[in-house]
Amino acid sequence: MSPVFISLEGSEGAGKSTLMRVINRWLEERGDTVVSCREPGGTATGEAIRELLLDRNSGGLLPLTELLLMFASRAQLLEQTIKPALAAGSSVLCDRFVDASYAYQGGGRQYSHNQISQLEQLVVAETMPDLTILLDVPVDIGLRRARKTGEPDRFESEQRAFFERVRKAYLERARQHPERIVVVDASARQPAVRKQVLAILEQRL
């Protein structure tokens, strides 16, 4: 089996963590060595950037700084983890990737597609996932789930309208890239979501 690069996306409360484990196991069972990582974060520098980004006390963080820090973390992850892993024949499973910047900084913070695309060309270039699974959940359901799990971070503290824009931008991105992004209805119960994801893996890879 040739190595694959998969990213998993979704807004707050979509249930990414459980599905990360499901996908990881599926890849291992077909014999892949799997490197699993997350964004923002995934490297020592990236995790330090993540802390700054998620900290509710980073109140003065400009939207532009946020955008650049997301791509700074991504640059570290690509060079230190993703590219070496793929070159060594491992598969990579990433909890969020560049689509999240189109959704959160594009949709949420309202940066234009063109501005984000310029950073994407600089940082990501050709190293795009082979498959992206987007867990889509209505905002109310997602926020209710997310807010059950402890103190909200800087993003989780945003208003409902922010998350509506994030969801819309994710779905728009899926419409623009149907060859790569598959949308899964994550409002269903966990076993049904898991079944949908496994079917996509079987069909697409």
* Contact residues: ligand TMP, CB under 6 A: 39-40, 70, 95-96, 100-101, 104-105, 155
Q: Distances in Å between the alpha carbon of 82 and those of 45, 51, 92, 106?
A: 15, 21, 7, 24
Of residues 5 and 155, the one with the C-beta less far from ligand TMP:
155
Of residues 40 and 129, the one with the C-beta less far from ligand TMP:
40
Of residues 70 and 137, the one with the C-beta less far from ligand TMP:
70
Residues in the chain: 205
CA–CA distance, 203 with 52 (Å, rounded to integer)? 39
CA–CA distance, 110 with 152 (Å, rounded to integer)? 22
CB 17 to ligand TMP: min, Å: 9
Which residue's beta carbon is nearest to the bound ligand TMP?
A: 104
Spell out the residues 6+ positions from residue 169 whose beta carbon is closer than 8 angstroms to its own. Answer: 102, 103, 104, 106, 107, 108
CA–CA distance, 181 with 204 (Å, rounded to integer)? 11
CB 144 to ligand TMP: min, Å: 15
In contact, 163 and 143? CB cutoff 8 Å: yes
Of residues 30 and 55, the one with the C-beta less far from ligand TMP:
55
In contact, 108 and 63? CB cutoff 8 Å: no
CB 107 to ligand TMP: min, Å: 10
Of residues 81 and 105, the one with the C-beta less far from ligand TMP:
105
CB 194 to ligand TMP: min, Å: 19
CB 11 to ligand TMP: min, Å: 8
